[in-house]
């Protein structure tokens, strides 16, 4: 309510806060200038992935955020173009600011191969670190794996991520059924959620990382790969091209044959573990990319003061 908002903004001002960076919307009566982040407009591209109620809620929330914010941050040019369609009247407020994935320095103190014994997985695998949500496109991976196994019987996909799809509670069970019917239960290892440090070790030890999504606002997985200096097999969607991971192997996210070819070639020719030269280059680049992100963020904040 208005009284509560006034109390919050008053407290923030007394604490020396002159503007607020937020996700979601705080309404027209919030007295501090708002810098709002809109992560993506997935519901415009895939409305069937959401209930009618959720589509309406997102439309209301994003419209209010755009209306009440002094500045709007979107993470990609793709998202900026979606905002142009969704709320053209708010476009002059919008700024594109891609986030940069940070890698804790202690990650490099751990030999990545040790992660294999912890999770009882082979040393040679491709990592798929996506939540088990509809737009993350595990279905095409299952189809591709089924096609790849005759050529590469030892091919292993290690999967991490949340198994709860809030939009459809039956979805993970549906994927398990697809895995069983495809006969790839031995080749597709499901770890579920893992600690973040373990995730980075799994990435470093992998032969490559796989990102098959149908849609992203700005892929955290791709950014983590860029920050770690890993190879990636990635769906050919505009935002992934925009992210421009070095040496990325692109495939049509609707084409299991294309992905099967990428998986087989990667498994037969890549080595597990980090490429020390690429990793060092990525660490050096991360420092400059982070600095540039910070400079641009401060510039946007100064615009709205």
pLDDT tens, N- to C-terminus, the chain (305 residues): 677 778 888 898 889 999 999 987 777 778 889 999 999 999 999 999 999 999 999 999 999 999 999 999 999 999 999 999 999 999 999 999 999 999 999 999 999 999 999 999 999 999 999 999 999 999 999 999 999 998 899 999 999 999 998 888 899 999 999 999 999 999 999 999 999 999 999 999 999 999 999 999 999 999 999 999 999 999 999 999 999 999 899 999 999 999 999 999 999 999 999 999 999 999 999 999 999 999 999 999 999 88
- Pair (46, 110) in one structural domain: no
Query: Looking at the domain assignment, is residue 300 inside a domain?
Result: no
Distance of CA 266 to the CA centre of its chain: 22
Which of 53, 73, 97 is a domain's end point?
Answer: 97
**Do residues 134 and 168 make contact, with C-beta atoms less than 8 angstroms apart?**
yes
Which of 68, 97, 126 is a domain's end point?
Answer: 97
- Pair (87, 112) in one structural domain: no
- Pair (70, 197) in one structural domain: no
- Pair (168, 199) in one structural domain: yes
Could you tell me how many helices (H) and strands (E) the chain has, helices first? 12, 10
**Global confidence as pTM:** 0.94
Q: What is the pLDDT of residue 58?
A: 95
Helix (H) or strand (E) holding 288: helix 276-303
Query: Looking at the domain assignment, is residue 145 inside a domain?
Result: yes
- Pair (123, 158) in one structural domain: yes
Q: Is 22 helix (H, G, I), strand (E, B) or coil?
A: strand
Gyration radius (Cα) of the chain, Å: 21
Beta bridge partners of 158: 127, 189
Query: Looking at the domain assignment, is residue 136 inside a domain?
Result: yes
Q: What is the pLDDT of residue 24?
A: 77
**Do residues 163 and 195 make contact, with C-beta atoms less than 8 angstroms apart?**
no
Hey, how many other C-beta atoms are within 10 angstroms of the C-beta on 60? 11
- Pair (206, 143) in one structural domain: yes
Q: What is the pLDDT of residue 79?
A: 98
Distance, in Å, from the CA atom of 264 to the CA atom of 269, rounded to the nearest integer, reads 9
Locus of tokens 């949500």: 133
- Here the tokens at position 114 are 């040790």
Q: What is the CATH number of the domain that holds 128?
A: 3.40.50.2000
**Do residues 223 and 101 make contact, with C-beta atoms less than 8 angstroms apart?**
yes
Distance of CA 142 to the CA centre of its chain: 20
Q: Is 267 helix (H, G, I), strand (E, B) or coil?
A: helix
- Pair (53, 192) in one structural domain: no
Query: Looking at the domain assignment, is residue 38 inside a domain?
Result: yes
Q: What is the count of structural domains for the chain?
A: 2
Hey, how many other C-beta atoms are within 10 angstroms of the C-beta on 109? 7
- Pair (250, 143) in one structural domain: yes
What does the angle CA 268 – CA 271 – CA 273 come to, to the nearest 5 degrees?
145
Hey, how many other C-beta atoms are within 10 angstroms of the C-beta on 13? 12
Q: Is 96 helix (H, G, I), strand (E, B) or coil?
A: strand
Which of 64, 80, 97 is a domain's end point?
Answer: 97
- Here the tokens at position 186 are 């031995």
- Pair (201, 130) in one structural domain: yes
- Pair (80, 194) in one structural domain: no
- Pair (254, 141) in one structural domain: yes
Domain that holds residue 65: 2-97
Q: What is the pLDDT of residue 186?
A: 94
Q: What is the pLDDT of residue 303?
A: 93
Q: What is the pLDDT of residue 167?
A: 87
């Amino acid at each position: 309510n208005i009284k509560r908002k006034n109390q919050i903004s008053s407290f923030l001002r007394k604490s020396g806060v002159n503007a607020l960076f937020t996700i979601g919307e705080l309404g027209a009566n919030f007295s501090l200038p708002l810098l709002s982040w809109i992560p993506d407009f997935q519901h415009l591209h895939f409305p069937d992935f959401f209930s009618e109620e959720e589509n309406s809620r997102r439309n209301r929330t994003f419209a209010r955020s755009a209306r009440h914010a002094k500045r709007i941050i979107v993470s990609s040019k793709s998202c900026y173009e979606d905002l142009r369609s969704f709320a053209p009247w708010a476009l002059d407020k919008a700024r594109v600011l891609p986030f940069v994935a940070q890698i804790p320095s202690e990650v490099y103190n751990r030999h990545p191969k040790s992660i294999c014994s912890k999770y009882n997985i082979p040393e040679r695998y491709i990592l798929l670190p996506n939540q088990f949500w509809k737009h993350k496109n595990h279905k095409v991976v299952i189809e591709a794996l089924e096609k790849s196994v005759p050529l590469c019987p030892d091919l292993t996909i290690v999967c991490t991520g949340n198994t709860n799809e809030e939009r459809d509670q039956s979805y993970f069970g549906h994927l398990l059924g697809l895995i069983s019917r495809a006969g790839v239960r031995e080749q597709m290892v499901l770890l579920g959620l893992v600690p973040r440090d373990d995730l980075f070790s799994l990435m470093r030890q992998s032969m490559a990382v796989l990102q098959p999504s149908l849609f992203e606002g700005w892929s955290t997985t791709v950014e983590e790969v860029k920050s770690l200096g890993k190879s990636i097999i990635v769906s050919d969607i505009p935002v992934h091209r925009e992210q421009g991971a070095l040496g990325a192997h692109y495939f049509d996210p609707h084409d299991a044959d294309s992905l099967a070819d990428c998986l087989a070639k990667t498994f037969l020719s890549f080595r597990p573990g980090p490429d020390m030269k690429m990793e060092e280059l990525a660490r050096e680049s991360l420092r400059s990319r982070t600095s540039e992100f910070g400079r641009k963020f401060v510039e946007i904040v100064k615009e709205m003061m």
